[in-house]
């Protein structure tokens, strides 16, 4: 799998908010003086997928974390003191069903969610266009986003590209990451600059079992088995040249599926072999809690 950067997109419909992580005594504003922006009034119902609302402790690092509620108190509420936010937090595991229900019942004004869901909801008529709101908001500057992200993402644009129904709020990088120390323990050459699927699978197999130096159980490979976007699968289709389908989102009924091609067989055969290498909990996105820490026992992490 090539070390290609994947862009992960989510969206909000009207405005964006960001949480902060750090010590409990940290100034979440970064030292910036927060001032009132507007006297506009109203109540906005916000449905957030997966966000931590309250302060707590990071399960992996043990560091205190600042939740969204404290961040909003020190930022958004000072900027818009007359806007009341009703915030609903929904776990990622069942976010599509719950947010769909909220859209159908009209119980949410703003969503933070997965981009793959957004295009489905738009085509079902559950999301409104934002072009009129963007045009009226002179403070909104689309150039803060990469042009291709703002103008070409199916997560925020109508299938024909003419309407804007979402705003990108997060832009992240995911890539293949490996633990150099484990490679050294096993005497395996580290990954090349652009490793293909065969190289990754071959080296991962060599590092699965009892570590020859520590005697600890090691796992050669890891990826999130319940990834909402199936990004590992998508990366494999690109690596093996498996098209999967040809057509346009503007004409879904006439998309031509290609799921039984030799290239797609290679994708699935690779997954079959690779699935023997991670911790069993990978199917539920578990088992990599120590990845990146001193006691890590995973050699290679995909889309990480």
Q: Where are the domains of the chain?
A: 6-172, 177-301
Summarised one tens digit per residue, pLDDT across range 3-37 is 222 222 233 333 333 333 344 456 777 788 999 99
Mean pLDDT of 32-59: 90
- What does the pLDDT read at residue 173? 66
Mean pLDDT of 115-138: 90
Class of domain 177-301: alpha beta
Instruction: Return the minimum-mean-pLDDT range out of 41-55, 139-153, 237-251, 253-267.
Output: 139-153
Instruction: Please tell me the CATH code under which domain 6-172 is placed.
Output: 3.40.190
pLDDT range class, residue 234, cuts 50, 70, 90: confident
Q: Can you state the angle between helices 231-240 and 262-274, rounded to 10 degrees?
A: 130
Please answer whether residues 147 and 156 qualify as being in contact, where contact means their C-beta atoms are separated by less than 8 angstroms: no
User: Do the domains 177-301 and 6-172 match in fold?
Assistant: yes
Summarised one tens digit per residue, pLDDT across range 247-256 is 887 788 899 9
- What does the pLDDT read at residue 19? 33
């Amino acid at each position: 799998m090539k070390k290609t950067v994947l862009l992960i997109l989510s969206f909000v419909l009207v405005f964006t908010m960001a949480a902060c992580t750090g010590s409990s005594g940290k100034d979440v504003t970064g030292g910036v003086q927060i001032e009132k922006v507007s006297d506009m009034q109203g109540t906005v119902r916000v449905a957030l997928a997966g966000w931590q609302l309250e302060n707590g402790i990071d399960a992996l690092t043990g560091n205190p974390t600042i939740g969204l509620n404290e961040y909003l108190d020190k930022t958004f509420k000072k900027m818009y003191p007359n806007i009341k936010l009703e915030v609903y937090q929904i776990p990622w595991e069942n976010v599509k069903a719950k947010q769909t229900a909220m859209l159908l019942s009209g119980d949410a004004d703003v969503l933070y969610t997965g981009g793959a869901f957004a295009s489905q909801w738009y085509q079902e008529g559950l999301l409104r266009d934002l072009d009129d709101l963007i045009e009226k908001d002179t403070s909104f500057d689309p150039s803060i986003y990469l042009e291709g992200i703002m103008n070409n993402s199916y997560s925020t644009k109508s299938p024909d590209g003419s309407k804007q129904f979402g705003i990108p709020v997060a832009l992240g990088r995911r890539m293949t990451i490996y633990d150099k120390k484990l490679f050294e323990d096993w005497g395996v050459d580290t990954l090349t600059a652009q490793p293909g699927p065969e190289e990754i699978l071959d080296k991962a197999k060599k590092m699965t079992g009892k570590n020859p130096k520590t005697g600890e159980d090691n796992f050669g490979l890891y990826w999130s088995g319940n990834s909402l976007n199936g990004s590992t699968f998508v990366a494999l289709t690109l690596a093996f040249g498996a098209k999967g389908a040809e057509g346009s989102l503007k004409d879904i009924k006439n998309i031509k599926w290609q799921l039984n091609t030799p290239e797609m067989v290679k994708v699935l055969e690779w997954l079959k072999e690779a699935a023997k290498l991670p911790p069993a909990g990978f199917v539920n996105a578990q088992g990599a809690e120590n990845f990146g820490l001193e006691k890590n026992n995973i050699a290679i992490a995909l889309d990480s």
